[in-house]
Amino acid sequence: MRSVYFDHSGTTPVHPAVAEEMYRYLIGDSFGNPSSVNHLGLQVRKKVTEARDIAAQAIGAAPGEIVFTSGGTESDNMAIHGAAYTNKSRGNHIITSAVEHHAVLNTVKALGKQGFNITILPVDQYGMVSVDDVAAAITDRTILITIMHANNEVGTIMPIAEIGKLARERKIVFHVDAVQSFGKIPVNVDELGANLLSLSGHKIYGPKGIGVLYIRKGTRWRQTLFHGGAQERLRRAGTENIPGIMGLAKAIELAMENREAESARLMVLRDKLIKGLTSIENVRLTGHPVKRLPNHASFLFKCIEGESMLISLDMKRIAASTGSACTSGSLEPSHVLLAMGIPHADAHGSLRLTLGKDNTDDDVDYLLEVIKPIVEKLRNMSPLED
Ligand code: PLP
């Protein structure tokens, strides 16, 4: 049976060239500790410097502004926690949006329990944050704004550059979670006006458990979570994950080489999926129709449980997701869809199809062919049918 992977926003397969690069640092004599003053350590240290240069160049940063972390969740936590506590003497107000990934939302909420005053901005029907709402929420006590570049569940691209401009004018630290956008649309820290920016390896054909936190030089931020050694210039203690860092650098190189052509190719497939699926009765697109990630298609199927849809598709060897992969397993519908004003019952019928490098036009045809009878069958069985 044909096997199709449509869950690239959940995670991506490790690119063979990335795996090869990582393997080099798992075997032989490339195991040195970059903090060790011996030839093995120095050799690896040089490679980490090269990897840092690659990461910096990809987002328009300086190498000294790049910190390697264990992934998007850690980068988000470090960014938010560090900025909040470093700026506590100036104020205690933090602004975020209702559709952030839990790595951001739950971190901000945790700070809310520790005496910070938090504003969680609403979004419109497309999951978009309004720049005017951000402007209206800013007070003299605001010390941090954290808004994602693109949403993982509905693919909507936020007006980050405009929010960055506001933050800069008001001298407020601005954090951007670019985990989903990086490698798909341009991510440049100056254009976005970011002080802090999070990236993750496993969304770009790199390994899991590695990521980047960009920290703009001069940002009022210091390390507040980990206490330990002086690695990453005192910004992230712990012996570096060398195979991960080397794999991430390779993945970034490949992403930069292929981004434009690949995004253009995927956009055609995405639009075919959207056209095909929204032609089915009572199926609609979620997220912004135009300002959306080039590989991202997400839908609501009326009178269908997303979980049942996933299982039926999986039996046809199509891997998709409903809402966020990180929240599936719990019965609560996605906080993103609820924030977009979608009623509780409808929000259960969500399906996310996110495309990647191995997907072809035939994969899209296959999905469109198998999904129609699945929808019919599930709707016939559904107690939700009206
Ligand atoms: N931020 C966003 C927008 C994400 O989509 C994810 C993962 O799905 C994360 C953060 C967390 O990244 P990681 O899995 O590397 O911890």
> pLDDT for 291-324, tens place per residue?
999 999 999 999 999 999 999 999 999 999 996 4
Q: Which of 138, 166, 326, 384 is catalytic?
A: 326
Residue 5 pairs in a beta bridge with 319
Three-state SS string over 203-228 comes to HCCCCCCCEEEEECCCCCCCCCCCCC
Angle (CA) 87 93 95, round 5°: 110
C-alpha 286/C-alpha 352 separation (Å) is 9
- Which residue has 């005496």 as its token pair? 115
DSSP one-letter string for 59-71: HT--GGGEEEESS
C-alpha 236/C-alpha 227 separation (Å) is 8
Is residue 303 annotated as part of the catalytic site, yes or no? no
| Gap from CA of 190 to ligand 1 centroid (Å) | 22
- Indicate which residue's Cα is closest to atom 13 of ligand 1: 72
- Indicate which residue's Cα is closest to atom 9 of ligand 1: 72
C-alpha 239/C-alpha 228 separation (Å) is 10
| Gap from CA of 295 to ligand 1 centroid (Å) | 16
Q: Is the pLDDT of residue 332 over 90?
A: no
Name the CA dihedral angle for 302, 305, 308, 314, rounded to a multiple of 10 degrees. 60
Atom of ligand 1 nearest to the CA of 73: 16
Q: Is 127 left (phi over 0), alpha (psi -120 to 50) or beta?
A: left
Angle (CA) 145 263 260, round 5°: 90
Query: Model confidence over 228-238: pLDDT tens digits?
Result: 999 999 999 99
Q: What is the DSSP code (8-state) at residue 13?
A: P
Q: Which helix (H) or strand (E) holds 54?
A: helix 39-59
- Which residue has 């199926």 as its token pair? 283
Atom of ligand 1 nearest to the CA of 211: 15
Q: What is the DSSP code (8-state) at residue 37?
A: -
Residues within a 6 A CB radius of ligand 1: 71-73, 76, 101, 103, 148, 152, 177, 179-180, 200, 202, 211, 326
Residue 84 pairs in a beta bridge with none
Closest by Cα among 319, 320, 347 to 334: 347
Mean pLDDT over the full length of the chain:
95
Residue 157 has φ and ψ, to the nearest 5°, of -95, 125
Q: pTM of the prediction? A: 0.97
Amino acid code (one letter) for 321:
S
| Gap from CA of 335 to ligand 1 centroid (Å) | 15
Mutation pick for ligand 1 pocket among 200, 204, 212 (CB with most ligand atoms within 8 Å): 200
C-alpha 147/C-alpha 185 separation (Å) is 16
Query: Model confidence over 347-375: pLDDT tens digits?
Result: 999 999 999 999 999 999 999 999 999 99
Atom of ligand 1 nearest to the CA of 200: 15
Identify the pLDDT of residue 330: 57
- What are the tokens at 151? 């949403």
Residue 182 pairs in a beta bridge with 185
- Which residue has 């798992």 as its token pair? 26
- Indicate which residue's Cα is closest to atom 10 of ligand 1: 72
C-alpha 130/C-alpha 226 separation (Å) is 34
Identify the pLDDT of residue 5: 98
325 band by pLDDT with thresholds 50, 70 and 90: very low
Atom of ligand 1 nearest to the CA of 324: 8
| Gap from CA of 101 to ligand 1 centroid (Å) | 7
CB–CB of 274/345 below 8 Å? no
Atom of ligand 1 nearest to the CA of 100: 3
- What are the tokens at 199? 């990236």
C-alpha 224/C-alpha 196 separation (Å) is 15
Q: Is the pLDDT of residue 84 over 50?
A: yes
| Gap from CA of 72 to ligand 1 centroid (Å) | 5
- Indicate which residue's Cα is closest to atom 14 of ligand 1: 72
Closest by Cα among 339, 357, 355, 338 to 347: 338
C-alpha 250/C-alpha 38 separation (Å) is 25
Calculate mean pLDDT across residues 118-135: 98
| Gap from CA of 332 to ligand 1 centroid (Å) | 19
C-alpha 33/C-alpha 41 separation (Å) is 5
